[in-house]
A and B are shown apart, each in its own frame.
Chain A
Amino acid sequence: MDKPLSSAIGEIKIVNEVRLNVRQWALALGFILLVVLLTPRFWKGVERFDTGPDYRIPYDLSKDYWLYQRRMEDKVDPHSIVMLGDSVIWGEYVLPDGTWSHFLNEQTGQVAKFVNGGVNGLFPLALEGLVDYYGRSLRNRKVILHFNLLWLSSPKADLRVDKEENFNHTRLVPQFFPRIPCYKADANTRLGILWERKVDFCAWVNHLQDAYFGQKSILNWTLEDDGGDPPRYPNSYKNPLAQITFRVPGAPRDDPQRGSKSPRHKPWSASGAATQFEWVDLDGSLQWGAFRRVLQTLRERGDDVFVILGPFNEHMVAEESRAPYRKLRDGITAWLKENKLPHLAPGTLPSQLYADASHPLTEGYALLARQLLESKDFQRWLLQR
C-alpha cells in the first residue's frame, strides 16, 4: 500500500553544491567569526576620523552609534569632561563654536577640557540605551549630564501615549521593558535591535550605511532616486565600494541651518507664543525613570556626575502651566539633593536668548557657561579628584 518515495528519510536532494559537511561548516563559521570580530577593530585603523576642539557628531550621523562609541573610546581624552544630553548640549541652532562646551572651554582657557557628547534628539530613554550599549567607555571619569524638561512637557513627549508615535533613536530605547506604549514596532524589529546591540559588526555596518550611503542599506542606495519628475537614478551604474572613502564625513563648514547667519537662529518670540504644557507627573514618567537609571549606571561605573537641569524657557510657558512646571522642577531638584548628586538648575535666561522652548541661542550658551562656572557647587565638583 504505502509507497514511500526514494527520498523518504535518507539523502536529501539538493540542486547546488553549497552543501557543507561538519568540517567545512566549522571552517566557514570560524572564518566568519574572525571577520565579524576583527573588521570593526581593523576599520578603526584604516578610516580617518578627524575630531579636534569643538567637535560634535555631525547631524547626519546622529544615529551612527558605532561612531559615537569609537569617538568616546579613542578620541576623547580620559581627563576631559564629557557633556551628555540631547540637542541642547549638541547645539541645535548654533555652530560648533557657539555650543555650551565651546564656551566652557573658552571661559576656562582650555582647548578641549569640555567635550560635546550631545546627540540630536537624544531623549532620556534613548540616552539610557546609548550609555548602556555604546558608551561603555564612559567609566571613572567626570561627566556632565543634562536633563531637558521638555521631555516631561506632555504625555506625548514622555512617550506614554497609546497612539503610535514616530520618534528618533528607536534603536536605543528599551525594546521590551519598560514598555513604551507608543512604540509599536513588531517583534522582529525589536529582536533585530537587540542583536545589533550585542554584535559590534552590525553597528559597524550601520556606520558604513550612515557615513557613506546616505543612511540607506547599500542595496537601497543603488536604487536611490534624485526626487525629480521623472526621477533619475544616479547610483544605478556606480560602484558602491567606490563610495567608501575611508574618511568619516564631517559637518558642513558653513551649515546654513545653524549659526547666527542662519534664518533659524532667532528668538522664539519672533514666531511663537506662550504655550500650555501638559506636564506629566514625575512618579509615572518614563523619561524621568530612564534618566534616573542613566545616573545609576554612570555612578556604578565610577563616573563622577554633575547634573544640569534645564534651563527651560519659562517665558514660553503659559501662566496656568507655570505652577505645575515649577513643582516638577523642584521635585527633581529635591530628588537630586536627596541622592547627594551635585547639580545646578540655572535660572531662566532672558527671553531673547531662547530659540524655542529649550534651546538657547549662541549668546544664551555663553551666559549659561558663565553661570555654570560661577556656581560654587560646580567649582567644588570640578576640583574633586
Chain B
Amino acid sequence: MLFHTWPFLVFMLIVLPVFYSLRHTRWWIPWLMAASYFFYGWWNPYYLLLVFYSTVLDFFLVALMDQCPSEGKKVDDAVLKRAFLASTAAAVVILAVACLGPPTLRPSMVGLALIFLLMAWGAFKGNRRIWLLISLVNNLALLLFFKYGHFAVENLNALFVWLHAAWKLPEPSTLMPFGFPYVLPVGISFFTFQSLSYTIDFYFGNVERERNFLRFATFVCFFPQLMAGPIERARQLLPQLREFPPIRLQNFTDGLSLFLVGLFKKLAVANYLAFYVERVYDNPKAFGAPALMLATFAFAWQIFFDFSGYTDMARGVARLLGFNLILNFNNPYLATGLGDFWTRWHISLSTWFRDYVYIPLGGNQRGVFNTYRNLLFTFLLSGLWHGAAWTFLIWGALHALGVMATRELERSTFYRDQVPRLLKQLGVFAFVCFAWVFFRAESLDDARLIVRRIFTAVWSDPQIPALMLGLVALIWLYQFMYESKYRGILQAGFVRVGLAVFMVLYLFLFSAGGGAFIYFQF
C-alpha cells in the first residue's frame, strides 16, 4: 500500500478515527499494531512472519539481557534457568523437526536451532554480551540471506570456478521453507536496523527495557515509517508510544502540510524525472554527453524527491496520529561540503552508521589513519546497505574517498571564508551527481560507459523537456531562498497558501502517474 494511492486513503479514513476514539482506552496500541501489520501484510502476508519473528526475538533477548549482570544489577537465576531449559528444549525439538520433517524445512530449522542453542549458551553463561550477539547475528542473518544471498553465492561460485575448486554453493531460493518465494521483503533493511538499534541501545544503557510486547511490536512495525524509514531510535519513538499523544489541531495542519509536499515531490516531480532518466540510462549508448549529464542531474533530483517525498509523507501521516518522526532530509543539495552533505542526506541512516559502526570502530579518536579507515569502512557498508551490487559498493567508496579528500579542506579557514558559498554548493552537487552514476547504472559496465561518454561523446540535443528543467530550477531556487536572507518572503501567508494551492492543482492537472518508491528496493 503506497502512501499516494487510494487504498491508503481508505486505510487512513478507518485507522485515524478509530485511533482517536480509543484514546481513553488501552486499545489504541493494539489498534496501531494491528493497523501496522495490516499495512505491511497488504504487500505480502508472508512478510509478516519475518517482522513478527524479529520482534519476538529482540523483545525476549532484551528481557533476558535485563536479567544479566550490569552495573547495580544481580543475576536472576530463576529466570535464566527457565530460559536455559526452554531454549535447550526448543533447540532439541527444532532439530528433531529438521531431521524428521520434510527436507525443504532443514536449512531454516537448523538456523533456528542454532539461534536457540546460542540462547541456551547465553542463559547458561548469564552474559548479556551473548544476547546482544544473538540479536546481531539474527537480524544481520535475515538481512544477509534475503538481500545479499544471491549476490554472495553468485560471486563465491565464480571464485570457486576461477580457483578450479569443485565446490558450488546452492542458490538461496532452494533454502526457503514451505516453497515460499525468495523475494526481498520490502523494508527489511529498515525494520531490522530499527530493531537492532533497540538491543544495542539497551546493551549500552541508552534506553530502558520495554516491558509491553505490543508497544515494542508497534515500535518495530509502526506503519508510517515501516517501509522506507526514517529509521527511528527506540529512545525517540518508544517514549512517544507510552501515552496517547496530545490531540492538537497543529498535528493535523502540520501533518497535512508535510503530506502535501511529499505527494507533490513524488507524483509531480520524481515520477516525471524518472521518465527521462529511464530513457537515457536504459540505453546510454544512444545518447550524447549532454543527455547523459542531464539524465544524471535528473536522477540526483529524482532520488531526492522520491525518497524525501516518501519521508515527508511518512512524517505527515505519523503527525496526523500525533507522533513525531525525525527529520531525514535537510535540503541536501545546498550542502557546502561532503561532510555537510551527509548531515543532510538520509539523516536517520547516516546517524545510525555513525552511532553503531563509525564510533564503535573508534571514530576520529585514534589518529588520522584509523579515522580514514573507519570512514572508508562505514561508507562501504553504507553502500552495501543499499543493495548487493558492485555499483553500490563503488558509490560508497567514492563518497568515502570524497569525504577523506575534502575533510581537511572543509575545515580550513580559506574554504570556510574565502570560497563563495554557491561555488561550494555547486561543487558538492557535481561530485554527488558523479557518484549517482554508479548508484543508478544497471551494471558496472554501464556506469563506466556513461562516465566515458560524458567526457568523450558528441554534443547532441539532449531533448530534455523544458518543463522538467524549469520545475527543478524553481524548486532549487526555493531551497536557496529558504537558506538565505530572503526566507522571509517564503514565510508570508499568501506565499504559503499560494504554494499549497499551486501544488494541489498541479497534482490534479499534471500528475505523471504513480510508481513505487525507489527506496522500497533497499
Q: Which of A13-21, A104-112, A139-147, A283-291 contacts B (4 or more CB under 8 A)?
A: A13-21
Across the interface, which residues of A come within 8 angstroms of B236, CB to CB?
A: 4-5, 7-8
Across the interface, which residues of B come within 8 angstroms of A36, CB to CB?
A: 508
- The answer to whether A20 and B497 have CB atoms under 8 Å apart is yes
Q: Specify which of A187, A222, A236 is in contact with B7 (CB 8 Å cutoff).
A: A187
- The answer to whether A223 and B465 have CB atoms under 8 Å apart is yes
**Given contacts A8-B324, A35-B505, A230-B286, is CB(A220)–CB(B512) below 8 Å?**
yes
**Given contacts A32-B504, A222-B465, is CB(A12)–CB(B510) below 8 Å?**
no
**Given contacts A17-B482, A17-B490, is CB(A7)–CB(B326) below 8 Å?**
yes
**Given contacts A5-B236, A188-B514, A223-B465, is CB(A28)–CB(B324) below 8 Å?**
no
**Given contacts A217-B510, A219-B272, is CB(A188)–CB(B257) below 8 Å?**
no
Q: Which of B164-172, B200-208, B415-423, B432-440 contacts A (4 or more CB under 8 A)?
A: B200-208
- Smallest CB–CB gap between A211 and chain B, Å? 14
- The answer to whether A5 and B496 have CB atoms under 8 Å apart is no
**Given contacts A1-B206, A24-B497, is CB(A201)–CB(B508) below 8 Å?**
yes
For A34, give the chain B residue with the smallest CB separation.
B501
In the complex, B82 has a CB within 8 A of chain A: no
Once the chains are docked, how many angstroms separate the CA of A16 from the CA of B330? 9
Interface set, chain B 438-474, CB cutoff 8 A to A: 463-468
**Given contacts A8-B236, A15-B327, is CB(A235)–CB(B465) below 8 Å?**
yes
Q: Specify which of B315, B479, B500 is in contact with A20 (CB 8 Å cutoff).
A: B500
Across the interface, which residues of B come within 8 angstroms of A43, CB to CB?
A: none
- Smallest CB–CB gap between B386 and chain A, Å? 23
Q: Specify which of B249, B330, B504 is in contact with A15 (CB 8 Å cutoff).
A: B330
A-B contact count (CB 8 A): 155
Once the chains are docked, how many angstroms separate the CA of A222 from the CA of B469? 12
- The answer to whether B495 and A17 have CB atoms under 8 Å apart is yes
- The answer to whether B510 and A219 have CB atoms under 8 Å apart is yes
Map CB proximity to A onto B220-260 as digits: 1 under 8 Å, 0 otherwise.
00000000000001011011100001100110011011101
Across the interface, which residues of B come within 8 angstroms of A17, CB to CB?
A: 482, 487, 490-491, 495-496
Once the chains are docked, how many angstroms separate the CA of A219 from the CA of B326? 33
In the complex, B428 has a CB within 8 A of chain A: no
- Smallest CB–CB gap between B40 and chain A, Å? 16
Across the interface, which residues of B come within 8 angstroms of A233, CB to CB?
A: 463, 465
Across the interface, which residues of B come within 8 angstroms of A222, CB to CB?
A: 465-468
In the complex, A10 has a CB within 8 A of chain B: yes
- The answer to whether B482 and A16 have CB atoms under 8 Å apart is yes
- Smallest CB–CB gap between A104 and chain B, Å? 41
For B275, give the chain A residue with the smallest CB separation.
A223
Across the interface, which residues of B come within 8 angstroms of A230, CB to CB?
A: 286
Across the interface, which residues of A come within 8 angstroms of B323, CB to CB?
A: 9
**Given contacts A8-B324, A35-B505, is CB(A18)–CB(B257) below 8 Å?**
yes
- Smallest CB–CB gap between B164 and chain A, Å? 45
Once the chains are docked, how many angstroms separate the CA of A27 from the CA of B513? 28
Once the chains are docked, how many angstroms separate the CA of A240 from the CA of B272? 15
Once the chains are docked, how many angstroms separate the CA of A226 from the CA of B245? 55
For A233, give the chain B residue with the smallest CB separation.
B463
- The answer to whether A19 and B254 have CB atoms under 8 Å apart is yes
Q: Specify which of A22, A218, A219 is in contact with B249 (CB 8 Å cutoff).
A: A22
Q: Specify which of B249, B260, B508 is in contact with A205 (CB 8 Å cutoff).
A: B508
- The answer to whether A31 and B276 have CB atoms under 8 Å apart is no
For B471, give the chain A residue with the smallest CB separation.
A219
Once the chains are docked, how many angstroms separate the CA of A9 from the CA of B323? 6
- The answer to whether B240 and A25 have CB atoms under 8 Å apart is no
Across the interface, which residues of B come within 8 angstroms of A219, CB to CB?
A: 272, 275, 467, 510-512
Map CB proximity to B onto A168-198 as digits: 1 under 8 Å, 0 otherwise.
0000000000000000000110011001000
**Given contacts A13-B327, A22-B253, is CB(A218)–CB(B510) below 8 Å?**
yes
- Smallest CB–CB gap between A328 and chain B, Å? 39
A-side interface size class? 35 or more
For B462, give the chain A residue with the smallest CB separation.
A236
Map CB proximity to B onto A202-217 as digits: 1 under 8 Å, 0 otherwise.
1001001000000001
Across the interface, which residues of A come within 8 angstroms of B326, CB to CB?
A: 5, 7
**Given contacts A13-B327, A201-B508, is CB(A2)–CB(B500) below 8 Å?**
no
Q: Specify which of B239, B246, B509, B511 is in contact with A4 (CB 8 Å cutoff).
A: B239
Map CB proximity to A onto B476-512 as digits: 1 under 8 Å, 0 otherwise.
0011001000010011010111011101110011111
Q: Specify which of B249, B319, B487, B495 is in contact with A12 (CB 8 Å cutoff).
A: B319
Once the chains are docked, how many angstroms separate the CA of A116 from the CA of B30? 59
Interface set, chain A 16-54, CB cutoff 8 A to B: 16-22, 24-25, 27-28, 31-32, 35-36
Across the interface, which residues of B come within 8 angstroms of A205, CB to CB?
A: 508-509
- The answer to whether B5 and A188 have CB atoms under 8 Å apart is yes
Once the chains are docked, how many angstroms separate the CA of A240 from the CA of B468? 12
- The answer to whether A217 and B467 have CB atoms under 8 Å apart is no
- The answer to whether A217 and B512 have CB atoms under 8 Å apart is yes
- The answer to whether A187 and B467 have CB atoms under 8 Å apart is no
Across the interface, which residues of B come within 8 angstroms of A8, CB to CB?
A: 236, 239-240, 324
In the complex, B279 has a CB within 8 A of chain A: yes
In the complex, B261 has a CB within 8 A of chain A: yes
- The answer to whether B254 and A14 have CB atoms under 8 Å apart is yes
In the complex, B369 has a CB within 8 A of chain A: no
In the complex, B178 has a CB within 8 A of chain A: no
Across the interface, which residues of B come within 8 angstroms of A12, CB to CB?
A: 254, 258, 315, 319, 324
**Given contacts A22-B249, A230-B286, is CB(A1)–CB(B6) below 8 Å?**
no
For A219, give the chain B residue with the smallest CB separation.
B512
For A208, give the chain B residue with the smallest CB separation.
B509
- The answer to whether A18 and B512 have CB atoms under 8 Å apart is no
For B268, give the chain A residue with the smallest CB separation.
A219
- The answer to whether B499 and A18 have CB atoms under 8 Å apart is yes
In the complex, A163 has a CB within 8 A of chain B: no
- The answer to whether B253 and A20 have CB atoms under 8 Å apart is yes
- The answer to whether B505 and A32 have CB atoms under 8 Å apart is yes
- The answer to whether A25 and B466 have CB atoms under 8 Å apart is no
- The answer to whether A191 and B512 have CB atoms under 8 Å apart is no
- Smallest CB–CB gap between B86 and chain A, Å? 28
In the complex, A340 has a CB within 8 A of chain B: no
Across the interface, which residues of A come within 8 angstroms of B322, CB to CB?
A: 9
Across the interface, which residues of B come within 8 angstroms of A240, CB to CB?
A: 467
In the complex, A232 has a CB within 8 A of chain B: yes
- The answer to whether A1 and B208 have CB atoms under 8 Å apart is yes
**Given contacts A14-B258, A22-B253, is CB(A9)–CB(B245) below 8 Å?**
yes
- The answer to whether B324 and A7 have CB atoms under 8 Å apart is yes
Q: Specify which of A2, A208, A220, A237 is in contact with B275 (CB 8 Å cutoff).
A: A220
- The answer to whether B478 and A202 have CB atoms under 8 Å apart is no
In the complex, B358 has a CB within 8 A of chain A: no
Across the interface, which residues of B come within 8 angstroms of A380, CB to CB?
A: none
Q: Specify which of B487, B500, B514 is in contact with A18 (CB 8 Å cutoff).
A: B500
In the complex, B329 has a CB within 8 A of chain A: yes
Across the interface, which residues of B come within 8 angstroms of A202, CB to CB?
A: 508
In the complex, B163 has a CB within 8 A of chain A: no
- Smallest CB–CB gap between A380 and chain B, Å? 49
Q: Specify which of A13, A18, A218 is in contact with B496 (CB 8 Å cutoff).
A: A18
Across the interface, which residues of B come within 8 angstroms of A16, CB to CB?
A: 261, 478-479, 482, 490
Across the interface, which residues of B come within 8 angstroms of A191, CB to CB?
A: 6-7, 9-10
A–B pairs, 18, beta carbons within 8 Å: A2-B208, A3-B206, A15-B329, A16-B478, A17-B487, A20-B496, A22-B249, A24-B493, A25-B253, A25-B256, A187-B5, A188-B7, A191-B7, A201-B508, A202-B508, A219-B467, A220-B512, A222-B467
Using A8-B240, A219-B511, A220-B513 as known contacts, list a sample of 18 further A-B pairs with CB atoms less than 8 Å apart, ordered by residue number in A: A2-B235, A4-B239, A9-B239, A14-B257, A16-B479, A18-B496, A24-B496, A24-B497, A25-B256, A31-B497, A36-B508, A187-B7, A191-B6, A205-B509, A217-B513, A218-B509, A222-B466, A230-B286
**Sorted from nearest, which 3 A-B pairs have the closest CB atoms?**
A191-B6, A222-B465, A17-B490
Q: Residues of A with Cβ closer than 8 Å to B?
A: 1-5, 7-10, 12-22, 24-25, 27-28, 31-32, 35-36, 187-188, 191-192, 195, 201-202, 205, 208, 217-220, 222-223, 230, 232-233, 235-237, 239-240
